[in-house]
Structure 1
Amino acid sequence: MADDSNGKPTTNDNRDAKTEVEEEKENPSTESDKHDGKTEEEKRKETELEKYWRAVKENPMDFTGWTYLLQFVEQEGDEKMCGEAYDAFFQRYPYCYGYWKKYSDMFKKHGDLIKAAEVFERGLKAIPLSVDLWLHYINFQTTEFSNEEDAEAKLRKLYERAVAASGTDFRSDKLWDSFIAWEKSKERQKAVTALYDRLIKIPTQLYSHHFDNLKAHINKNHPREILDLDEFLRVRQEVVAKSHNYEEDDEAGLESAALGIDEPPGADAPPGLDPTVDDAEIKKVKAKLIESREAIFKQNENEVSKRWAFEEGIRRPYFHVKPLERAQLKNWREYMDFEINTGHHDRIVVLFERCMIACALYEDFWMKYAKYLEQQNSIEGVRNVYRRACEIHLPKKPYIHLAWAAFEERQGNYKTTQEILSRLDKNVPGLVMVAMRRISLERRQGNHEEAEGLFKEYLEKTTSNKCRTFFAIKYTRYLQKVRGDTERARQVIKEASSIDQQNERLFLQMLDVEYQAHPVDENKVMDVFQSILSSDLSIEFKVKISQRRMEFLEDFGTCIKRITEAYDEHQKLVKDMNSDKRKRLPDGGDEPAEKKVKVEVTPNGAPEPPTSVPPPPDPVYPSYPTWGSYPSYPSYHSQWPSYPPPPTYSSGYNYY
Structure 2
Amino acid sequence: MSRPKKWTDVSIELIKDPDNFELWQQLITSAEYNDKNGISKSTPQSQLQTLRTSYDRFLAKYPFMYKYWIRYAEWEFKLTDLDAAIKIYDDAFQHLECCIELWVNYLQFRINTITNNVDQVLNLFEKARRLIGCHFYSYEFYTLYLSFLESYATDTNQFKRKYYTLLRIILEVPLYHYEYFYKKYFELISRIGNDAKLQSDLPYIVPAKELQRQTKNLSQELKKTFTDAYITIQHKVYELYHFEKRFKRHHNDIRLISRQQLDAWLQYFDFLQLQKYPQSYIEMNYWRYLYIAANYPESWQKFADYFVFYKKFNSARHILIRGWKYLGNHQILIKLIDLEIFLKQYLRAKELIVEYVKYNVSIPVAIHEKLISIERIFNENDDDHMLNIFKSIIQDTQNDWFFNVLNYYSIDKDKKMVFLAEMKEFKGQKYYDTAMKLVSEKGKEDQEKSPNFNQLYKQLLYSSS
C-alpha deviations, 1:114-157, integer Å up to 9, x for none?
2210110121231122222112212222233x223xx1101111
C-alpha separation between the residues in 2 aligned to 1:214 and 1:106?
40
Q: 1:101 and 1:163 mapped to 2: Cα distance?
A: 20
The Cα RMSD (Å) is 3.1
Q: Structure 2: how far apart are the matches of 1:309 and 1:229?
A: 34
1:408 touches 1:414 (CA, 8 Å); kept in 2? yes
4+ runs deviating over 6 angstroms: 518-521
Computing the radius of gyration from Cα coordinates, the structure with the larger value is 1
User: Larger RCO: Structure 1 or Structure 2 (Cα < 8 Å, ≥ 6 residues apart)?
Assistant: 1
SS of the aligned residue for 1:361 comes to coil
Output aligned runs, 1:8-407, within 5 Å: 48-76=6-34, 77=39, 78-144=47-113, 146-148=114-116, 151-187=117-153, 188-220=159-191, 222=195, 223-224=198-199, 226-228=201-203, 235=210, 237-240=212-215, 281=216, 284-344=217-277, 345-392=279-326, 394-396=327-329, 398-407=330-339
Q: Select 1:455's aligned residue among 377, 381, 390.
A: 390
Counterpart CA distance in 1 for 2:105 and 2:309 is 36
Between the aligned partners of 1:164 and 1:438, the Cα distance in structure 2 is 42
- Aligned residue number for residue 423 of structure 2: 496
How far is the alpha carbon of 1:233 from its aligned partner? 8.7
Q: Distance in 2 between matches of 1:520 and 1:368?
A: 46
Q: What is the DSSP-based 3-state SS (H/G/I as helix, E as strand, rest coil) of the residue aligned with 1:80?
A: helix
Q: Deviations over 1:265-324 (max 9, x none)?
A: xxxxxxxxxxxxxxxx3xx33333333333322221121111111111111111111111
Q: How far, CA to CA, are the matches of 2:163 and 2:391 in structure 1?
A: 70
| Inter-CA distance 314–234: structure 2 relative to 1 (3 Å threshold) | closer
Change in CA separation of 1:100 and 1:504 when aligned onto 2, cut-off 3 Å: closer
User: Is the Cα–Cα contact under 8 Å of residues 129 and 169 in structure 1 kept in the other structure?
Assistant: no
The unaligned stretches of length 5 or more in structure 2 are 40-46, 154-158, 453-465
Deviation at 1:327, TM superposition (A): 2.6
Asked if the contact 1:476–1:490 (Cα under 8 Å) also holds between the matched residues in 2, the reply is no
Give the total of aligned pairs: 424
Alignment partners' CA distance in 1, 2:336 and 2:280: 23
Aligned counterparts of 1:505 and 1:230: Cα–Cα separation in 2: 75
Amino acid at match of 1:494: A
Deviation at 1:183, TM superposition (A): 1.1
CA distance in 2 between counterparts of 1:134 and 1:229 reads: 27
**Quick check: 1:440–1:451 contact (8 Å CA) kept in 2?**
no
Unaligned runs of 5+ in 1: 1-44, 241-280, 522-551, 557-656
Change (3 A) 1:514 1:196: same
* Structure-2 residue corresponding to 1:411: 343
| 1-structure distance, mates of 2:191, 2:80 | 44
Query: Which residue identity lines up with residue 414 of structure 2 in the other structure?
Result: T
Equivalent runs, 1:411-430 vs 2, <5 Å: 411-425=343-357, 426-427=359-360, 429-430=362-363
Distance 1:329 1:234, change over 3 A: closer
Q: How does 1:558-569 map to 2 (within 5 A)?
A: none
Scaled by the length of structure 2, the TM-score of the pair is 0.82
Structure 2: distance between partners of 1:475 and 1:163: 55
On the 8 A contact 2:165/2:204 being kept in 1, the answer is: no
Hey, what's the Cα distance between the residues in 2 that align with 1:307 and 1:124? 26
**Counterpart-to-counterpart distance in 1, 2:360 and 2:22:** 23
1:516 to 431, 442, 449: 442
For 1:456-605, list aligned pairs within 5 A. Answer: 456-462=391-397, 464=398, 467=399, 469-472=400-403, 474=405, 481-482=410-411, 484=412, 486-487=414-415, 489-497=416-424, 499-503=425-429, 505-517=431-443
Is this contact kept in 2: 1:74–1:82, CA < 8 A? yes
Deviates more, 1:131-140 or 1:229-238: 229-238
Q: 1:518 to 1:339 in 2, by over 3 A?
A: same
1:184 partner amino acid? E
Question: Structure 1-normalised TM-score?
Answer: 0.59
* 2:44 equivalent in structure 1: none
Q: Is the 8 A contact 1:472 1:496 kept in 2?
A: no
What are the residue-to-residue correspondences of 1:432-451 with 2, within 5 Å?
Answer: 432-446=365-379, 448=382, 451=386
Q: Contact 1:199/1:210 (CA < 8 Å) preserved in 2?
A: yes
Query: Which deviates the most, 229-238 or 174-183?
Result: 229-238
CA 1:414–1:224: 2 relative to 1, 3 Å: same
After superposition, the Cα gap between the structure-2 partners of 1:515 and 1:331, relative to the gap in structure 1 and judged at 3 Å, is closer
Given that 1:493 and 1:510 are in contact with CA atoms closer than 8 Å, whether structure 2 keeps it comes out as yes
Partner of residue 618, structure 1: none
Q: Which amino acid aligns with 2:401?
A: F
- CA distance in 2 between partners of 1:327 and 1:470 (Å): 35
Task: Flag the 1:196–1:232 CA change in 2: closer, same or farther, 3 A.
Answer: closer
CA offsets 1:181-220 (integer angstroms, 9 cap, x no match): 1111124432221111111111101011111122223335
Aligned to 1:540: none
Q: Answer yes or no: is the 8 Å Cα contact 2:99–2:288 preserved in 1.
A: no
Question: Alpha carbons of 1:452 and 1:89: their partners in 2 closer, same or farther (altered >3 Å)?
Answer: farther
Distance 1:192 1:173 in 2: 15
The separation in 2 between residues aligned to 1:66 and 1:292, in whole angstroms, is: 55
Q: Is the 8 A contact 2:165 2:205 kept in 1?
A: no
Q: Give how far 1:232 is off.
A: 8.7
CA–CA separation in structure 1 for the residues paired with 2:6 and 2:205: 68
Is the contact made by 1:369 and 1:385 (CA closer than 8 Å) also made in structure 2? yes
Q: Is the 8 A contact 2:168 2:205 kept in 1?
A: no
CA drift of 1:74 comes to: 2.8
Q: How many angstroms apart in 2 are the aligned matches of 1:503 and 1:232?
A: 78
CA shift, 1:88, in A, is 2.8
- Evaluate the alpha carbon distance shift between residue 518 and residue 87 of structure 1 in structure 2; reply closer, same or farther with a 3 A threshold: farther
Deviation of 1:443 (Å): 0.5
How has the CA–CA distance of structure 1 residues 81 and 172 changed in structure 2, closer, same or farther, with 3 Å as cutoff? same
Contact 2:308 2:316 in 1 (8 A): yes
* Change in CA separation of 1:96 and 1:143 when aligned onto 2, cut-off 3 Å: same
Distance 2:138 2:207 in 1: 30
Q: Which amino acid aligns with 1:402?
A: I
Partner Cα distance (2:441, 2:212) in 1: 93
